[in-house]
Chains A and B, each alone.
Chain A
């Protein structure tokens, strides 16, 4: 960070990010295993497109883009909110092990639904798996918080190590499930651990989008309180912030968001790390800007990544979880080195 230049807001306004999101989303409509032409798209919006292309757009491509938008928004906002809670820009649902907690419980849910509860309707099973994922992420958020926070102090080293340990435990148990699972279960589980947006359907979005809106609403309302929390918990309390309540809201909301998104898309990491950090660099850390900006930029990021994932190997597609890790992990390393340089880690 330059020391002497005035430090101020950015060219990245909320409106600008909104426009970018629309452009990227519309662009994504064209791309895929079956590229569409602008003419076909025009026909579609005029209601004149029929047959395979119409089906492709309405039943596959559009829901998928909507899912990418909402998942990206939830993950980026959850990341930003957890960073405020832990007072550290390295916090991310996946790095804290929360995503793996959700994955473990979701996979547990899959195994259960194939064995004990296969007589239940699919929608009930799906909901059950989502609820399990929520419980998993809630439990892991609470665990990592309890492990890394002692009194007034959250140790970054402990935080990262606790995240690694919890992630490893969850992955190991998930591995056990994999080992003992049948062929079909295995396919499902593998899909989960790599992350994919290909499952998008309107029915699923009908459940997911309200959850997303609820989570965003809950978190956005805490924007000011999260700003004060940057000074530390005791300070924030002395300044009138109901810290216990804010913490509860953030933990439950992010667990709900991460749980729901993992239940549908599997493990997609680093969005919550990369997007907020980029925004902090260009626009500062005022949460009244950061949260809505993270929602928009997170959505944009994931749509872009997904467009890439389903075109570079077309007609096959790269799991988006792998792509986001390929982009995110070097970035995380870079961030770690940067923080080390400033002696902020230990």
Chain B
């Protein structure tokens, strides 16, 4: 369980997030959405322990994030930042292996290699294993970093009790890759109990994949609930300040049909 209790984050006397409370059950897939500057990244960074809330606290498995040791935390939660630049020439495989840093003392390098290969396979980047990361496109790099954080939270039996946070993971991916990435995450969440928290701008994707959606506006929690509850046209209009109308295309049914066709082909 991940619990945020009235967390606020201030910088130069300005509230970036204000009195936000959340409760995320294990195994859930949740999305943070909202306009630019709503405080999504700031909130996510507080949930990951990258920054400490100015007021309130975040509890992971009942323990305040401030009391977690960095190394212990790295064993159960991974974070994919919005933008990661690698300073030196390292191969794709090297980067993914870095994900296992926290296991350095207890895991053989053969085992780590296995984990890295598993992760590269999940993001479809196996063919790039020996390439220099700096020569890849933005989208490819993003997938490599996803593989790195997947390697970080990997567990041979189950991902129950493990957490993955992703800040706009789809930002430099094409629509097919966006879909694929979220599908991989959803699969890990549903079948292995991984808890996933993402920031997304595309509300259609949010509706399609999330168990819970949290809409932020001006640093406050505006609305939350299941996608059906949170993503009402009036709510979206109010949060983003633009007129929205809901056009039903029964996209879920449509998608399921497509998938069905794809499988039977």
User: How many angstroms between the C-alpha atoms of A239 and B75 in the bound complex?
Assistant: 8
Residues in chain A near residue B71, CB distance under 8 A: 240, 242
B73 at the interface (CB under 8 A from A): yes
Contact of B48 among A224, A227, A238, A242 (CB under 8 A): A238
User: How many angstroms between the C-alpha atoms of A59 and B164 in the bound complex?
Assistant: 62
Contact of A239 among B85, B101, B131 (CB under 8 A): B101
Q: Is the CB of A239 within 8 A of B152?
A: yes
Residues in chain A near residue B98, CB distance under 8 A: 227-228, 231, 239
Q: Is the CB of A240 within 8 A of B84?
A: no
A285 at the interface (CB under 8 A from B): yes
**Given contacts A1-B132, A238-B79, A230 and B50 within 8 Å (CB-CB):** no
B177 at the interface (CB under 8 A from A): no
**Given contacts A8-B130, A234-B81, A87 and B87 within 8 Å (CB-CB):** yes
B70 at the interface (CB under 8 A from A): yes
User: How many angstroms between the C-alpha atoms of A177 and B36 in the bound complex?
Assistant: 56
Distance of A210 from chain B, by nearest CB (Å): 28
Stretch at the interface among B15-23, B88-96, B179-187, B203-211: B88-96
Name the residue of chain B whose CB is nearest to the CB of A88: B87
Q: Is the CB of B50 within 8 A of A1?
A: no
Q: Is the CB of A224 within 8 A of B101?
A: yes
Q: Is the CB of A240 within 8 A of B90?
A: no
Distance of B140 from chain A, by nearest CB (Å): 12
A1-19 at interface with B (beta carbon < 8 Å):
1, 3, 6-8
**Given contacts A6-B130, A224-B104, A286-B94, A238 and B74 within 8 Å (CB-CB):** yes
Residues in chain B near residue A83, CB distance under 8 A: 88
- The 0/1 profile, CB within 8 Å of A marked 1, for residues 47-91 of chain B is 011100000000000000000001101110011010011111111
Distance of A79 from chain B, by nearest CB (Å): 13
B169 at the interface (CB under 8 A from A): no
Distance of B182 from chain A, by nearest CB (Å): 21
Q: Is the CB of B81 within 8 A of A284?
A: no
B99 at the interface (CB under 8 A from A): yes
Name the residue of chain A whose CB is nearest to the CB of B129: A6
User: How many angstroms between the C-alpha atoms of A39 and B132 in the bound complex?
Assistant: 50
Q: Is the CB of A280 within 8 A of B88?
A: yes
- The 0/1 profile, CB within 8 Å of A marked 1, for residues 100-143 of chain B is 01101000000000000000000000000011101100000000
User: How many angstroms between the C-alpha atoms of A232 and B81 in the bound complex?
Assistant: 11
A260-288 at interface with B (beta carbon < 8 Å):
280, 284-286
Residues in chain A near residue B90, CB distance under 8 A: 227, 230, 284-286
User: How many angstroms between the C-alpha atoms of A89 and B99 in the bound complex?
Assistant: 23
User: How many angstroms between the C-alpha atoms of A88 and B91 in the bound complex?
Assistant: 17
User: How many angstroms between the C-alpha atoms of A280 and B81 in the bound complex?
Assistant: 26
A212-269 at interface with B (beta carbon < 8 Å):
224-225, 227-228, 230-232, 234-235, 237-242
Residues in chain B near residue A280, CB distance under 8 A: 88-89
Q: Is the CB of B89 within 8 A of A7?
A: yes
Q: Is the CB of A230 within 8 A of B79?
A: no
Q: Is the CB of B50 within 8 A of A234?
A: yes
Residues in chain A near residue B131, CB distance under 8 A: 6-7
Name the residue of chain B whose CB is nearest to the CB of A227: B98
**Given contacts A234-B50, A235-B81, A239-B152, A89 and B132 within 8 Å (CB-CB):** no
User: How many angstroms between the C-alpha atoms of A84 and B88 in the bound complex?
Assistant: 9
B164-206 at interface with A (beta carbon < 8 Å):
none
Residues in chain B near residue A232, CB distance under 8 A: 81, 84-85, 87
Distance of B152 from chain A, by nearest CB (Å): 6
Q: Is the CB of A240 within 8 A of B102?
A: yes
Residues in chain B near residue A87, CB distance under 8 A: 87
User: How many angstroms between the C-alpha atoms of A284 and B86 in the bound complex?
Assistant: 13
Residues in chain B near residue A89, CB distance under 8 A: 87-88
Distance of A156 from chain B, by nearest CB (Å): 10
Closest 7 CB pairs between A and B? A240-B74, A240-B102, A285-B88, A87-B87, A7-B132, A6-B130, A240-B71
**A-B contact list, 27 entries, CB within 8 Å:** A1-B134, A3-B135, A7-B91, A8-B91, A224-B101, A224-B104, A227-B94, A227-B101, A230-B87, A230-B90, A231-B86, A231-B87, A231-B95, A232-B84, A235-B79, A235-B81, A235-B84, A238-B48, A238-B49, A239-B99, A239-B152, A240-B75, A240-B101, A280-B88, A284-B89, A285-B89, A286-B94
- Contacts A231-B98, A237-B70 supplied; 17 other A-B pairs, CB < 8 Å: A1-B134, A1-B135, A3-B132, A8-B91, A83-B88, A230-B86, A238-B48, A238-B49, A238-B78, A238-B81, A239-B99, A239-B101, A240-B74, A240-B101, A242-B71, A284-B90, A285-B90
